[in-house]
Amino acid sequence: FCYCFYIFIVIHLYSYCFKIIYKNYCSNFSYIQHIYF
């Protein structure tokens, strides 16, 4: 599951503020990523 990772990169290249928002958003699903991996 690399969807959050993909968004993280796009936002990272787009804006720093949005990177913080999506980073905090995807961090809530970190346990889900561990299950898929």
Over residues 1-37, the pLDDT tens digits come to 567 777 777 766 776 666 566 666 666 665 555 555 4
Count of C-beta atoms within a 10 Å radius of residue 2: 11
Number of domain units in the chain? 1
pLDDT for res 5: 74
The Cα angle at residue 24 between residues 6 and 3, in degrees rounded to 5: 20
pLDDT for res 37: 43
pTM recorded for the entire structure? 0.28
pLDDT for res 20: 64
User: What is the span of the domain harbouring residue 11?
Assistant: 3-36
pLDDT for res 8: 72
Torsion of CA 32, 37, 3, 14, to 10 degrees: 100
pLDDT for res 6: 77
